[in-house]
Amino acid sequence: MTRRAPFIVVEGLDRSGKSTQASILCDHLTSLGLPVELFKFPDRRTAIGKMIDSYLRSESDLDDRAIHLLFSANRWELASTISSHLEKGTTIIADRYAFSGIAFSARKGLSYKWCQAPDVGLPAPDLTMFLDIEPDIAQARGGYGTERYEQEEVQRDVRQVFERIEKEMTHAGARWVKIDAGRTQKEVSQDVWVHVQSILDSVHHPVGTLW
């Protein structure tokens, strides 16, 4: 039987370097001959993703609950693809996941439990790496400020919700690590690799589910 592959999530505040690190990790695993697929949430290419993209670029407005459900639906669109890849031995890296969904919606005042509900049953990651950064350092990086949530005070609130998520996930036995993302790309990617290596051989059947 093919060994089930790990599901790795990279989370963090805006401009913490998630896409950069997810892609370095993907290249590293590929160079070792391991099959790997990179997913990015939101996936702006699907019909639902196009609505999300328009909302994020402030080209359209949506009720807070409606946009929350769209972000979740955008993950459900890919849920069975993720599970079947994992079962066939392909490692999945997700650049953001359901944790971003809770963090960005709960900061608007929606209840934490309500925010969790639509993602119940999604494939659960084997490892979540939270790239932590001071919002003012993130702001100094390229491109900040062009999209809806890219404001320092929003990011500070979001960071607080992520702290609650970390506590709850850790309490529930999930593997959640916080990485200081305010350092150089190389320092961060070295830490990422240490954490990934630590789970590569300890992934069990079947794929778990949130929450």
CA–CA gap between residue 60 and residue 185 (Å, rounded): 34
Host H or E run for residue 174:
none
Contact residues: Na ion, CB under 5 A: 19
CA–CA gap between residue 102 and residue 162 (Å, rounded): 8
**For residue 44, with 0-12 CB atoms within 10 Å meaning exposed, 13-18 middle and 19 or more buried, which class applies?**
middle
Helix (H, G, I), strand (E, B) or coil at 201: coil
Least distance from ligand T5A to the Cβ atom of residue 28, Å: 15
Applying CB under 6 A, does 96 fall inside the site for ligand T5A?
Answer: yes
Q: 34 and 91 in contact (C-beta within 8 Å)?
A: yes
Nearer of residues 27 and 205 to ligand T5A, judged by Cβ? 27
- Among 7, 104, 130, 176, the residue binding ligand T5A under the rule CB under 6 A is 104
Q: 43 and 49 in contact (C-beta within 8 Å)?
A: yes
What residue 60 binds from Na ion, ligand T5A, none (CB within 5 to 8 A, per partner kind)?
none
Nearer of residues 53 and 87 to ligand T5A, judged by Cβ? 53
Applying CB under 6 A, does 101 fall inside the site for ligand T5A?
Answer: yes
- Among 5, 11, 14, 135, the residue binding ligand T5A under the rule CB under 6 A is 14
- Where along the sequence are the contacts to ligand T5A (CB under 6 A)? 12, 14-20, 41-42, 56, 71, 96, 100-101, 104, 141-142, 149, 184-185, 188
